[in-house]
Amino acid sequence: MDLERAPRETSLGPSIHAELSELDVLAEANRCLNCYDAPCTRACPTHIDVASFIQKIGTGNLKGSARVIMQANPMGASCARVCPTEDLCEGACVYADDDRPIRIGDLQRYATDWLVKSGVDLFQPGRATGKNIAIVGSGPAGLSATRELRRLGHAVTIFDANPALGGLNTYGIVPFRLPMDVALWEAQQVLKLGVDVHTGVSVGDDVAPSELIARFDAVILACGMGSVPPLGIPGEDLDGVWDALEFIERAKCGDGIRAPGPSVAVIGAGNTAIDALTCAKRLGAPRVTMYYRRGESDMTAYPFEYDFAKHEGVEFRWYCTPIRMLGEGPMVRAVEFVRTAPGRPSGTLARPLPAAIPGSEFVVEAQTVIRATGQSRLSDLIGGFGLAQSHGIVAVDETLRTSHPKVFAAGDCIFAKGSREAMVVEAAEQGKTAAASAHRMLCQAPAAITQSSVAQ
C-alpha cells in the first residue's frame, strides 16, 4: 500500500484503553485457569485459543502469543481494541460471575502491541496455485479473506473505492478506540504476502462486476454497508447537517471539521451515534446531546458505550424525533422536535414505531446536526453482480457462497439485523470462511494451510 496516500490521523484525545504495566499483565495472565473446553474460545467468533495465548504471555513468549492470536484472527490487533468483550470472550469467562473476568482484550492488546513494535512477520504466502481471486472491499472481511487466500497460494487482487485500505477500521472507528496506525499496520501485514492492489477504484463505477466475474477464478464481495440514509425531513440539505460516518471520517482524518459549534445534536442511539457524540465532544463542542425516538432501555448501543458517553459529558433526550431543521442562510441553526409515545405492540413489528404527540413540538439550537440512524445497503452493487439479495443484504449459504457459483460474500454486506451489532471480529471470521469456501471450489480440497506459510 502506498502509505503516502493514507490519510493523516488527527488526535482526538487520549485512548480509552488503559496502559497495562508488566506487573498487571503477569498478574492477569496468571489468573487464567486454562479451562477445559474453554468458554472464552467458544464465545470468540474467530475461536482464538485464549488460554494458549495467555499462557504464552505468562512465560514471556510474546511472539508465540501473538502468533496464536493472529493465526486465528487476521484482525487480532484491531479486535483487541474494538471487540465488545463483555458480550464475547470476557462475558463467557468463568470469573465473569464475580464481575472480574480475565481482561482478555487487554492481554490480546499487550501481545499484538508487541508484534506491531517488533517488526516480526508471522506469515508467508503458500505455494502458487495458479488461481486468481478478486476481493471487492478491503475492510476487515476483505483483508481477512485476502490473508487466508495468500497463505493458500492463490493470487489476490483487491479493489477498494477508498485511497487507503482497512475499511471502517481505518476511516470509521474513532481514533481513541482504534488508532489508524494499527488499522494500517494490519493491512500492511496482509500486503506483505504479495497482493495486487487497486485503491480509489469503485467497482460498479470504474470497473464492471461482469468484468471481475469473467477475469477472475472467484470473487469475494466484502463491500460493507453504505452511508446513513436521509431522515426525509425539511432542511436536511443545510450546511452543518452530517451523515455520522462522514463526520467521524472527516474528524479522524482532520479534514474540515475543527469547531462543530457550541451545540451539537445527534439523532439515533446506536454505537455509531455514541462515536459521533464522543467525537463531537472531543472536537470541543461544550453541549452535545443525543435525541432518540424511543426510551433509554431501547437504545441499541452497548452499555459500556453508553457509560463512556456519559463519562465524556454527553446529554441524552428520550422520546423525541426531529421534524425539521431550521437554517440561517445556508447553515443549520436549530432543530424542531416532536415528543413521542411508545408505539402500541403489533403482531408484525418486533419493535413498534413510537407515535408523535401532537402539540408537543419544541425547538433546540444546534450548529451541527448528525444523523446516526443506521447504514443503508449497497443494493445497486449487489444487483450489478446479479446476486440474490433481500433489501441489500446479500443472500449466502452456510459456506458464504452467493447465488452466483463464482461469487462469495463476507462482512457487513451479509449482516442481517439480529440481536448483535455488526462487528469487526465477525467480519474477520466470515472473511476466513469465504476464503476457505473459494479454495474448496477452486481446488476441490479443504483449506489446509501448510506449516510453510507460517514463519518460524
Ligand X SMILES: Cc1cc2nc3c(=O)[nH]c(=O)nc-3n(C[C@H](O)[C@H](O)[C@H](O)COP(=O)(O)OP(=O)(O)OC[C@H]3O[C@@H](n4cnc5c(N)ncnc54)[C@H](O)[C@@H]3O)c2cc1C
In the DSSP assignment, the letter for residue 278 is H
Q: Does 83 bind ligand SF4 (CB under 6 A)?
A: yes
Q: Does 105 bind ligand SF4 (CB under 6 A)?
A: yes
Stretch 71-130 residues interacting with ligand X (CB under 6 A): 82-83
Q: Does 125 bind ligand SF4 (CB under 6 A)?
A: no
**Is the CB of 86 or the CB of 217 nearer to ligand X?**
86
Cα within 13 Å of Cα(366), Cβ side: 32
- By CB under 6 A, name the one of 74, 125, 126, 172 that touches ligand X: 172
Q: Which residues pair with 123 in a beta bridge?
A: 454
Q: Letter for the amino acid at 197?
A: V
- By CB under 6 A, name the one of 203, 241, 301, 438 that touches ligand X: 203
Q: Does 177 bind ligand X (CB under 6 A)?
A: yes
**Is the CB of 73 or the CB of 157 nearer to ligand SF4?**
73
- By CB under 6 A, name the one of 65, 85, 138, 437 that touches ligand X: 138
- By CB under 6 A, name the one of 38, 50, 277, 364 that touches ligand SF4: 50
Stretch that binds ligand SF4, among 75-83, 147-155, 230-238, 410-418 (CB under 6 A): 75-83
**Is the CB of 83 or the CB of 102 nearer to ligand X?**
83
Pairing of strands 368-371, 196-199: unpaired
Residue in the block written with cell 481494541: 81
Q: E strands, 101-232, where?
A: 132-136, 155-160, 196-199, 218-221
- By CB under 6 A, name the one of 76, 101, 142, 235 that touches ligand X: 142
**Is the CB of 104 or the CB of 283 nearer to ligand SF4?**
104
Residue in the block written with cell 481477512: 144
CA atoms of 169 and 206, how far apart (whole Å): 24
Closest CB 267 distance from ligand SF4, rounded Å: 30
CA geometry: angle at 176 spanning 101 and 195, to 5°?
95
CA 308 to chain centre: 18
- By CB under 6 A, name the one of 25, 38, 57, 89 that touches ligand SF4: 89
- By CB under 6 A, name the one of 74, 140, 153, 268 that touches ligand X: 140
Residues 6 or more apart from 213 whose CB is under 8 A from it? 219, 385, 404, 406, 407
In the DSSP assignment, the letter for residue 235 is T
Residue 44 binding target from ligand X, ligand SF4, none, CB below 5 to 8 Å by type: ligand SF4
Q: Does 235 bind ligand X (CB under 6 A)?
A: no
CA atoms of 222 and 431, how far apart (whole Å): 8
- By CB under 6 A, name the one of 425, 436, 438, 442 that touches ligand SF4: 425
Residue 207 CB coordination number (10 Å) = 16
Stretch 399-418 residues interacting with ligand X (CB under 6 A): 411-412
Stretch that binds ligand X, among 25-33, 161-169, 210-218, 329-337 (CB under 6 A): 161-169
Q: What length is written for the chain?
A: 456
Closest CB 120 distance from ligand SF4, rounded Å: 20
Residue 139 binding target from ligand SF4, ligand X, none, CB below 5 to 8 Å by type: ligand X
Residues 6 or more apart from 132 whose CB is under 8 A from it? 154, 155, 156, 157, 215, 216, 217
CA atoms of 350 and 120, how far apart (whole Å): 49
> In the numeric block, which cell numbers belong to residue 424?
469487526
CA 4 to chain centre: 24
Residue 161 binding target from ligand SF4, ligand X, none, CB below 5 to 8 Å by type: ligand X
CA atoms of 329 and 313, how far apart (whole Å): 30
**Is the CB of 62 or the CB of 309 nearer to ligand X?**
309
Sign of torsion, CA 119 120 122 125? positive
Q: Does 423 bind ligand X (CB under 6 A)?
A: yes
Q: Does 46 bind ligand SF4 (CB under 6 A)?
A: yes
Residue 342 CB coordination number (10 Å) = 15
- Contact set with ligand X (CB under 6 A): 82-83, 136-142, 159-162, 167-169, 172-173, 177, 202-204, 222-224, 245, 248, 271-272, 275, 378, 381, 411-412, 422-425, 427
